[in-house]
Amino acid sequence: MGLGCVVWLTGLPGCGKTTIARLIETELRKRREKIEVLDGDEVRQELSPKLGFSAEERNLHNRRVIYLSKLLMRNGVNVVVSLISPYRVTRAYARSQLDRFIEVFVKASIEECIRRDPKGLYKRALAGEVKQCTGIDDPYEDPLNPEVVVDTEQETPQECAQKILDYMKSQGCV
């Protein structure tokens, strides 16, 4: 069993972060590895239910996820974070706080994410019902040097998950 690592999946809403995170979780549980998935929506609901989506509130939410990741990681748990985390500065802070940090850019075009729209977020944002929607009226800053890039328009979720698992193995995480 490897040392705990944090695999930080970042990308636009609807790009496939949660799907990939759950596939990694399933595979690592089969191997009896310690694994926790911190899904941004789930963590927000439990730890930050009153926070909105301003840059300051997003940063606070992200900092909470970073702290929770740090606690789990230092106890030998692999953590897969599925979080939009749209700002480079926030992800840089995560990297500075987490010794074994793997940034994964889950790449998909805004057009494809709008087409998928699993939660109806883009439909509501484009209708003016939702403000501060990442990719619509709030920016998403692509990672500059992620350890792994998966392209969910070109690769299946299983291929993306395997690519990440292979990288985790190369880093001694699993």
Runs of H (alpha helix) within the chain: 17-30, 40-47, 55-73, 88-97, 110-116, 121-126, 157-170
The one-character DSSP state at 107 is: E
How many of the other CB atoms lie within 10 Å of CB of 160? Answer: 26
CB-side exposure of 77: number of CA atoms within 13 Å?
15
Tokens of 93: 């802070």
170 is catalytic: no
Cα–Cα distance for residue pair 23/152, rounded to 1 Å: 14
How many of the other CB atoms lie within 10 Å of CB of 140? Answer: 18
- Which of 48, 69, 82, 85 is labelled catalytic? 85
Cα–Cα distance for residue pair 34/80, rounded to 1 Å: 11
Active site residues: 85
